[in-house]
Structure 1
Amino acid sequence: MTTSGTTLVTGATGTTGRRVTAALIADGHRVRAAGRAATPVEGAQAVRFDWNGPATWDQALEGVDRAYLVPPVGSSDPAAVMVPFLRRARAAGLRRAVLLSSSAIPAGGPAVGRVHVELPRLFDEWAVLRPSWFMQNFTGSTPHARSIREDGAILTATGGGRVGFVDAEDIAAVAVRALTDEQAPNTDLILTGPQPLSYDDVATTITEVTGRPVVHRHLTFEQLRDRWAAEIPLEFATMLAGMDRAIAGGAEDRTSDAVERLTGRPPGTLRAFVERELPPHT
């Protein structure tokens, strides 16, 4: 189906945003691609948008009736800017909102959990996507990707805990359905890959597929917190390290049928992702 209005995609050049944007355009939907630099996106209307710049909000919202919402990166309190934006969006005619959250953060929880709990209060049509850890965390310029390339190691405080790693392609496919299906999900959706894996399993898979020896180095909570704190604020570093500690306790050892239920196809495997995204080691 083609929506009658325009879909706003925040973070339109990011990991999920660019995939959501491309899929919506391919399906014939009108898209306003929002980002801090208004980067041109073929087939979309690019607009400058900054969560911390309310002067940019009205132009982003003009004529849109649904939105894909990626929280401000690195913020420990995204609700401080997102909730006022959503109130303005509702007044401007937005009727459906799809929020990217995390499987680790429930409604009313910390950070984006405070936005989650507000969504059904503000909109009759909504969804919250709560993906597990991204497979893309092992590629590009991410900390895990850097340590794999530089040291042949993945460093976590997860112990033997397992995670249902999910491909951003699958997250985007669910987002498109949540944005465009006749009936909005009106719920939160845990998104995972087909099986939970430990970081030891991840290291083994990368080694087998690429031929590059990769190991999982086990850190303590304090070691990981301090490692993060060298790059980001201590409060945020503590929260991230706490997520690893939760994984060690089994918090992410689960799978969900949401990807297949909404898209009609099973989620991709980590092995298929590594074969697609990581070059063989030479």
Structure 2
Amino acid sequence: MSSAPDSPTGPGAVLVIGATGTTGRRTVARLAAAGHRVKAAGRSATPLAGAEAVHFDWFDPTTHDGALTGADRVYLVPPVGEPDPARVMLPFLRRARASGVHRAVLLSSSAVPAGGPAVGQVHQALPELFDQWAVLRPSWFMQNFTSDHLHAEEIRTTGAFRTAAGAGRVGFVDAEDIAAVAVHALIDDHAPDRDLILTGPEALDHDEVAAVLSAVTGRRVAHHRLTYREQRDRLAALMPAEFATLLAQMDLAIAAGAEDRTTDTVRLLTGRPPHDFRQVAVRELNRDR
């Protein structure tokens, strides 16, 4: 166990599943910096500053009890690429409740409502499983264009990225803002149970994203528009076909305007406005230089 002091809100630790992921590692860092006990869970059990590294695999139930020991709240990042996350998550969540976890914060998506496909089934079940809960439903991550996401990798290698989203706009959100809201939802004992849609301050189409990236990097970045079938088939060569189909369908929803919105959730819960895309691109891309 790390030498971090007990959480100000109680003796239990916060279990962060997916602790090395885009939002997980940022959530761990914020919790540890605030003096909370953190168990950083993942398949590699990677040490993170101020946290206890624990081995955890959604698909290996023998890792679940050890991860849960001493935890009374949990941040849940669903298994990546799993088209039916409820199949593996719900048995774990029942075990978590039985072990003393009373608060669960689930990372979902603005595109997936309660009862919807994939993680929407977990969202729907959460209120019946825990006394205190929150579901974070962020829009698409700004870091998709700057980190190890397919878009970012394609930009680095080809100078372009591809979607079937057409001219549809998205309220892209900074992963740092998601982590800030996650910490609030995990730690504030007076936070109401709620479904939280998180966005940045403006909605951009993918051509506008490419223009910002071009301006920040000084290198031309292009957005190539694909048809639904082109995007589905391209993704199916990289991941399970069912998940590829789901992602391509989400692009179609964007093209139809489903993500053309902004919310004030980040400001209301953190006390500051969300970061805009140019700010994040400058911060993330300069960090990598």
* Range of TM-score over shorter length: over 0.9
Residue identity matched to 2:9: T
Partner of 1:128: 135
Distance (Å, rounded) in 2 between the aligned partners of 1:140 and 1:127: 27
Partner of 1:200: 207
Q: Deviations over 1:152-174 (max 9, x none)?
A: 21211000000000000000000
Q: Deviations over 1:171-206 (max 9, x none)?
A: 000000000012133011000000000001101111
Partner of 1:265: 272
Distance (Å, rounded) in 2 between the aligned partners of 1:41 and 1:278: 22
Range moving further from structure 2, 203-212 or 162-171: 203-212
Partner of 2:63: 56
Counting only pairs closer than 5 Å after superposition, residues 190-269 of structure 1 correspond to structure 2 as: 190-269=197-276
Residue identity matched to 2:61: P
Distance (Å, rounded) in 2 between the aligned partners of 1:271 and 1:74: 29
Range moving further from structure 2, 165-174 or 40-49: 40-49
Distance (Å, rounded) in 1 between the aligned partners of 2:8 and 2:204: 38
Partner of 1:179: 186
Distance (Å, rounded) in 2 between the aligned partners of 1:234 and 1:182: 41
Distance (Å, rounded) in 2 between the aligned partners of 1:12 and 1:3: 21
Distance (Å, rounded) in 2 between the aligned partners of 1:246 and 1:63: 42
Give unpaired runs (5+ residues) of structure 2.
1-6
Distance (Å, rounded) in 2 between the aligned partners of 1:58 and 1:151: 44
Q: State which of 9, 18, 35 in structure 2 corresponds to 1:3.
A: 9
Q: TM-score, normalised by structure 1?
A: 0.97
**Sequence identity of aligned pairs in percent?**
66
Residue identity matched to 2:85: P
Residue identity matched to 1:247: I
Residue identity matched to 1:210: T
Distance (Å, rounded) in 1 between the aligned partners of 2:32 and 2:68: 18
Q: TM-score, normalised by structure 2?
A: 0.95
Count of residue pairs brought into register by the alignment: 281
Residue identity matched to 1:22: A
Residue identity matched to 1:48: H
Q: Deviations over 1:124-143 (max 9, x none)?
A: 10000000000010022221
Residue identity matched to 1:33: A
Distance (Å, rounded) in 1 between the aligned partners of 2:273 and 2:257: 24
Q: State which of 15, 18, 22 in structure 1 corresponds to 2:25.
A: 18
Give the deviation of 1:3 after TM superposition.
2.5
Residue identity matched to 1:116: H
Distance (Å, rounded) in 2 between the aligned partners of 1:194 and 1:224: 28
Give the deviation of 1:279 after TM superposition.
4.5
Residue identity matched to 1:105: V
Distance (Å, rounded) in 1 between the aligned partners of 2:214 and 2:42: 36
Distance (Å, rounded) in 2 between the aligned partners of 1:214 and 1:59: 46
Range moving further from structure 2, 47-56 or 138-147: 138-147
Q: SS of the counterpart of 2:239?
A: coil
- Asked if the contact 1:154/1:199 (under 8 Å) is kept, the reply is no
Distance (Å, rounded) in 2 between the aligned partners of 1:146 and 1:19: 21
1:169 correspondence with 2:187: no
Q: SS of the counterpart of 1:99?
A: strand
Runs of 4+ in 1 over 2 A off after TM superposition: none
Residue identity matched to 1:2: P
Q: State which of 118, 134, 154 in structure 2 corresponds to 1:111.
A: 118
Residue identity matched to 1:110: P
Range moving further from structure 2, 136-145 or 66-75: 136-145
